[in-house]
Chains A and B, each alone.
Chain A
Amino acid sequence: MLFVLGEGLSGLLKSRLSGLMAVITIAVSSILIGIFLIITANLSYLVENLRGRVELEVFLDDSFNEEKIETLSTQIRAIHGVQTLTFISKETAVLAYRDLFKEQKDDYFDALGYNPLPASFRVTLKESYRTSTGADSVFNSISSLADINEDDVVYRREFLVLMERYIRIAITIDFLVGSIVCLSALLLVSNNIRLIIISKRRAIETMKLVGATRFLIRMPLYIQGTLQGLIGGLLATVFLYGLLKLSAIEIAGLISVNWQIYILLITLGVLLGVTGSFSAIRRYL
């Protein structure tokens, strides 16, 4: 085992230019994939955040008494897809309105002499219903209740449909770019190990002639590939960390970079090294 480890290490040190190329290839690939992952993670976060804001408002007629409101509340809560229901009384609505338009000096309610704002239910949706079709189904269920008119239920349907269209386009681009980057990285690493195998052909031939087992011949190459992957992953981590800190790209709440991304990058580097070696060794050795 010591011999195998030693061969792997010395292979890495002796490979110099080709080894350096492999490390750089893995580092650049990992950086690209890292950026892609950050974009994906933030896109998902953004989508979830926007979807979480989707809610329906059910306006209640002023003639509804407390008992009727309670009955409606129970009926709406029982609808599939409803997560929470909050009752907004007429008085609370006024407070909210005043809070929203506090910079206006005139108070319309004083001028009117009565409160024109209706009481309402604010309905949030379960995660799986935070789509235009999910929201539609809840909308239809609420509208079909006795005492509720279709006009009394409102939600930002156009916004949801538009958001879904852009999300689909973004995810498709994201997926395509990610796949191309991953595939290119794998091909580059595999090709690099192939060059290493070609440069070591004589040593490998000699190893076979003196009775080295398949394990002894292949393992140093796996170790070399893994070490190159590890170094490449570490370089990518350092580079990406520095880049993000220097450019202060982390805008609170929107673009966030989790520390797990760095662990993922190192793991990714190692995986690229191992997979690249594996595919090249299988094909060329």
Chain B
Amino acid sequence: MVKICKASLKYASGDGLDRISLEVRSGEFVYLVGPTGAGKSSVLKMIYMDALPSEGYVTVGGYDSRDISDNEIPFVRRKIGIVFQDFKLLEDRDVFENVAFALRVTGARRKDIKRKTLRALGEVSLPHKSRKMPHELSGGEQQRVAIARAIVNDPFILLADEPTGNLDPKTTIQIMNILDRLSTRGTAILMATHNYELVNSSVKRVVSIKNGTTLN
């Protein structure tokens, strides 16, 4: 499903990843842990093809980093859901439009857009706030909207980059419960975090990364 094989990534600063390998299977929940700057976000970037490895390769849902063209990258991303610590919501659109946006760019039909958007908002228990603007929501609610946007296209994997980094413990539990539920329904989850407390409290697979070199 997602396979990273001996992939290296070099940044001009000298940082990067060195011969990293990782595989995530359908419905699997994997924590990617490591200190800040270890390269967690770079691993995610390789998966959504924002950065292509200089050595090794990455395969995502049939696409291979070695022969992917720039025009194909948007189509890889339509199979992936991505959630960030800072939510990345569009401030000039309401909740419904933020979620529907991911469908509109794929050219989905209007009828399907409404149905799928409301369903995704239902998954994160926010259909009643569909006409609210992002600034009217709490941090936890904004992250739930971001999750709804990430899952509205029925992705096979959800990449979450420190999704609870800006949230209080109670809201963190809410978000984790949503991710857990998605995982049990078959969506693979790869969650980058440096919250060891959160990781240690669960029994999921953990992959650690340090200085961009060690992965186990």
Contact = CB atoms under 8 A, between A and B. Distances in A.
A210 B102 contact: yes
Interface stretch (A57-65, A109-117, A127-135, A201-209): A201-209
Given A212-B74, A214-B71, A206 B106 contact: no
Nearest to B98: A206
Assign chain A's interface to a size class: 10 to 19
B101 interface: yes
A216 interface: yes
Interface of B: 48, 70-71, 74-78, 82, 88-92, 101-102, 104-107, 149, 153
A199 to B, nearest CB: 10
Nearest to A205: B88
B74 to A, nearest CB: 4
Contacts of A216: 105
A207 B71 CA distance: 14
Contact of A3 (B77, B88, B107): B107
B90 A202 contact: yes
A213 interface: yes
B84 to A, nearest CB: 8
B90 A3 contact: no
A211 B78 contact: yes
Main secondary structure of the interface of B (DSSP, over half): loop
Given A202-B88, A208-B77, A212-B74, 10 more contacts: A3-B104, A3-B107, A206-B89, A206-B90, A208-B74, A211-B102, A211-B105, A213-B71, A214-B71, A214-B74
24 contacts: A3-B104, A3-B105, A14-B92, A202-B90, A202-B91, A203-B90, A207-B101, A207-B105, A208-B74, A209-B77, A210-B77, A210-B78, A210-B82, A210-B102, A210-B105, A210-B149, A210-B153, A211-B74, A211-B105, A211-B153, A212-B74, A213-B105, A214-B70, A214-B71
Interface of A: 3, 14, 202-203, 205-214, 216
Main secondary structure of the interface of A (DSSP, over half): helix
B20 to A, nearest CB: 22
Contacts of B74: 208, 211-214
B88 A206 contact: yes
A210 B83 CA distance: 10
Give 8 nearest A-B pairs by CB, closest first.
Answer: A211-B78, A211-B77, A212-B105, A210-B102, A211-B74, A213-B74, A3-B104, A209-B82
A206 to B, nearest CB: 5
Contacts of B107: 3
A202 B77 CA distance: 17
Nearest to A212: B105
B149 A211 contact: no
A209 B81 CA distance: 9
Contacts of A3: 104-105, 107
Which of the listed residues A202, A205, A211 has the most CB atoms from chain B within 10 Å of its own CB? A211
A205 B101 CA distance: 13
A205 B89 CA distance: 10
